[in-house]
Amino acid sequence: MTGLRDRRRVWRRDHGAMLSGVCIGLAEDLDLPLPMVRIVTLLFLVLPTGLAYLALSMLLRRGPIAARQAAEAPRRTSHDNALLRHRLQALEPRLKRIEAFVTSSAFELDRGFRQMGE
């Protein structure tokens, strides 16, 4: 009787195992291709968790802080956009001057002198 019980027992296999040898043991015992057993195992692990997360994200309401923050979020008006555009346009000439200096030979020379002094 023990011979029959040992024949039907599924064993973990160390040979060819990726983690602990469960999938290769199942594949050998059930005479199935190993990649198929690994894919089915991965689906059984990931799919229920992903579906539960998706269901909970649709069923659960937002907490009071998140809902309040969403309601109080500042809305940009056309006036705000115009003000922001004006500020950016005012900064553009300064940025161009900085870019011109950084790419100039005077900057390279100053940097070389600073490196020699260190």
Domain residue limits at 9: 2-59
Quote the pLDDT of residue 73. Answer: 67
Per-residue model confidence (pLDDT) at position 1: 45
Tell me, yes or no, whether 11 lies in a domain.
yes
Q: Number of folded domains in the chain?
A: 2
pLDDT confidence tier of residue 39, bands split at 50, 70 and 90: very high
Residues 99 and 55 both lie in one domain: no
pLDDT tens digits for range 7-27: 567 777 777 777 778 888 888
Residues 55-105 have pLDDT tens digits of 998 898 777 776 666 666 677 788 888 899 999 999 999 999 988 888 888
Environment class of 23 (CB within 10 Å of its CB; exposed 0-12, middle 13-18, buried 19+): buried
Indicate whether 51 and 94 sit together in one domain.
Answer: no
9, 53: one domain: yes
Is 76 inside any structural domain?
no
Helix-helix angle 78-102:105-117, to 10 degrees: 70
